[in-house]
Amino acid sequence: MENDRRPVIILVRPQMGENIGAAARAMLNFGLAEMRLVAPRDGWPNPKAVAMASGAAGRVLDRARVYPTLAEAMEGVEFAFATTARGRELSKPVHTPQSAMETARASQGRVAIIFGPERAGLENEDVARANAIVTVPVNPDFPSLNLAQAVLLMGYEWGRDDLPPEPSPHARRERAEILADRIEIERLGDHYEEKLAEAGFFFPETKAANMRMNLRNMWARLVLTRGDVRILHGILRQLTRR
């Protein structure tokens, strides 16, 4: 598409159809739609890729184009990032995924992200065709990422500004059930304080007032729904039943 500013994903000599399908799923998670394949080892189309793409991501594969060389796959691309975890003797700017996609968003032309084959990654000849390198800051003792993971990371960094905001756990919970009000929390605290006093919990007497205050403070900090309060009352009644 002429005005499509989304990065092109180029997979160079991918070896397994399953990894191509998983990469397509990762792309679609973040709205990336154009995949280009350079000399896939097992040919194209690949039924294992289709099976792994699972449903909607199959449309990424349906539109995927195959090229014999990386140079030809760079058609229409004005700026390209090569992903690699290894040090290179080639002198190029090195980006993290975040800074790479910030550069991509600011670019006026089409950007490509190039990924190498699963076993060994991109060759120097491939990297030489890119404008810059992207390296993921991972554990130096185990820097290996599989193909789909690498695509997912880059896709996330591209799409993060456009992703729908994720509500906090408390916000999700409030929609599911009404939170207990302060009176309900107070009554719960009274119930526990009464039963704990009967059990001799507030001992010695010189520390009792401070123990009661800490217990009230604990109840006030908790985010409880009305259902939670009912359960906690029920637990205490069951435990103190004679």
For the chain, the domains span 8-159, 169-240
Distance CA 239, CA 234 (A): 9
Q: Is the pTM of this model over 0.85?
A: no
* pLDDT value at 167 more than 80: no
Distance CA 71, CA 83 (A): 16
Domain 169-240 annotated CATH 1.10.20: no
Mean pLDDT, rounded, for 142-170: 81
Mean pLDDT (the chain, rounded):
88
**Two tokens at 174?**
């409030």
Residue type (1 letter), 117: P
Mean pLDDT lowest among 19-23, 98-102, 162-166, 174-178: 174-178
Q: How many residues does the chain have?
A: 242
pLDDT digits (tens, 9 = 90+) for 51-89: 998 778 889 999 999 999 999 999 999 999 999 876 567
pLDDT band at 232 (very low <50, low <70, confident <90, very high): very high
CATH class of 8-159: alpha beta
pLDDT band at 1 (very low <50, low <70, confident <90, very high): very low
Instruction: Decide the pairing of beta strands 132-134 and 8-12.
Output: unpaired
Contact 112, 169 (CB under 8 A): no
CA 188 to chain centroid = 39
* pLDDT value at 170 more than 60: no
Contact 82, 134 (CB under 8 A): yes
pLDDT band at 28 (very low <50, low <70, confident <90, very high): very high
Distance CA 235, CA 156 (A): 44
Query: What integer pLDDT is reported at residue 176 of this predicted model?
Result: 58
